Amino acid sequence: MKKKGIRRGSIVAPLMLALVLSACGGGQQAAAPEGSAPQGSAPQEGTQLKVPSEPVPITVYSNNKMTEEAFNKQYGDAIRSKFPNVKLTFTSDVLKDTIAAKVPIDIMFGSIGTFFTHLYDFELQYDLSELAKSRGYSFDKLEPTMVDLQRKLGGGKLYGLPVWTATSGLFYNKDLFDKFGQPYPKDGMTWEELASLSKAMTRVEGGIQYYGYVTSPGAQMSTNQLGLDPVDPKTMKANLTAEPWKQFMQNIVDVYKAAGLTYTKDELDIAKSRNFFEKESRAAMYTNFTGGTPLETMNWDVVQVPSLPNAPGVGPQPYPNYWYVASISKQKETAFDIIAFLTSEQFQIPHNKAGYATVLKDPEIKKQYGQDMPKFQGKNVSAMFPKKSSAPMNYTPFANDAQVEFQNAFLSHMLGEKDLNTALRDAAEQLDKKIREKTK
């Protein structure tokens, strides 16, 4: 199961794992709302699915350590309703142990960050193109960036279909803005405007330090609005010293420095920054890129992630949850039919209303996001869906390493240890070193 010189077991999940998850509330699993899944019905128009008339065993594997109860609420009940003769089994045990036990995995699913470690690294990928063609499956209703992203991962092949995706947004504490008499953030802001607003909201009052804005620079890197590659997919060399990356980092630095603070390492810690916003109500604004939303107890709202000067109106890259037919499955047609059903309007619309963001591109459906969830009532939910998402970057097995080094460069610069050029050069050198170690 080796992959072109990359040691088996050495690949770290390539996107937003420990670093991003700590910054964004545990990623998709933590962001998932309560509530029952929609019951199954007809697939999207034009797709010819076959509902088995005889019992068919299907084993579904979760890459994200999902519980069976959560699986049934979100997916299992709807699948069984649509495919009553499918004998569904669910597991999320350690994958290598599951394979060693010869469990007949038919379907796998998880966030994009599990593509290499749970699919490609175990050679479980299977091109869905012929199955989609034979079923008359249309990709037209899907958000195109999510399909393009999967094709990039597969080198042109399509190994998975998106079933739900993370949202992104600039979240803000309305009570703090009211307290300090400042106008709320608005849709269509630029990062320069965010810097000015952050400066106005940063202050010490009653002996308490308030921060205008906090974020996870590493998360911003991994969903960057310019589609920049941190690692060149052809040479497998770090790209972090390229001028566009320097400009991108400078943009984040400028927002922080506009506040006029001299930061400590603790103040720049990702988990603590998030706590400043959610738990301590000391940060006025926070960008989230993996679907998490503030607590119900906070008086919050959300606007679009601000635009970069060289990408006006372009939002962050998508962070989808994909479903795959496993190469070892003996029930590939039924497995595909189940996945196709999960991308249908009949499943997606109520699923989206329950707080799992739709992968369909219809703006009217997106407006219904979280409609059945009390915490979303009265919120500007459409802001969490970019009108135009950035083209996806080229993912490599070293994207998570790149994220860590980008974050380290930000910290060393903000703490006054290195100028920006040196910080990014050192980050690139460390990233290249990690790549060499993992490809020996």
Per-residue pLDDT of the chain (440 residues; tens, 9 = 90+): 444 444 433 333 333 333 333 333 333 333 333 333 333 334 445 567 788 888 999 999 999 889 999 999 999 999 999 999 999 999 999 999 999 999 999 999 998 878 888 998 899 999 999 999 999 999 999 999 899 889 988 889 999 999 999 899 999 999 999 999 999 999 999 999 999 999 999 999 999 999 999 999 998 998 999 999 999 999 999 999 999 999 999 999 999 999 999 999 999 999 999 999 999 999 999 999 878 888 888 999 999 999 998 999 999 998 899 999 999 999 999 999 999 999 999 999 999 999 999 999 999 999 899 999 988 999 999 899 998 989 888 888 898 899 999 999 999 999 999 999 999 999 999 999 999 998 88
What pLDDT, on the 0 to 100 scale, is given for residue 282?
Answer: 97
Which pairs count as long-range contacts for 148-152, CB under 8 Å and 24+ apart, including other chains?
148/391, 148/392, 149/112, 149/317, 149/318, 149/320, 149/392, 149/395, 150/320, 150/322, 152/392, 152/394, 152/395
Of 341, 342, 339, 320, the residue nearest 331 (C-alpha): 339
What pLDDT, on the 0 to 100 scale, is given for residue 46?
Answer: 57
Q: Judge whether 168 and 223 are in contact, CB under 8 Å.
A: yes
Q: Which helix (H) or strand (E) holds 422?
A: helix 420-438
Cα torsion angle, 43, 46, 51, 53, sign: positive
Q: Judge whether 43 and 344 are in contact, CB under 8 Å.
A: yes
Phi/psi of residue 299, each to 5°? Answer: -85, 85
CATH 1.10.10.10 fits 18-22+30-166+321-366, yes or no: no
What pLDDT, on the 0 to 100 scale, is given for residue 397?
Answer: 85
* Helix/strand/coil percent split, the chain, to 5: 40, 15, 45
User: What's the CATH class of domain 169-316+395-438?
Assistant: alpha beta
Please list the residues that pair with 403 across neighbouring strands: none
Q: What is the DSSP letter of 15?
A: S
The rounded distance, in Å, linking the Cα atoms of 168 and 356 is: 13
Residue boundaries of the structural domains of the chain:
18-22+30-166+321-366, 169-316+395-438
What pLDDT, on the 0 to 100 scale, is given for residue 117?
Answer: 84
The rounded distance, in Å, linking the Cα atoms of 55 and 57 is: 7
Please list the residues that pair with 203 across neighbouring strands: 210
Q: What is the DSSP letter of 289?
A: S
Give the largest Cα separation in the chain, rounded. Answer: 70
The angle, 0 to 180 degrees and rounded to 10, between the axes of the packed helices 345-353 and 332-342 is 50
Where do we find the tokens 């199961």?
A: 1
- Decide: residue 438, CB within 10 A, 0-12 exposed, 13-18 middle, 19+ buried: middle
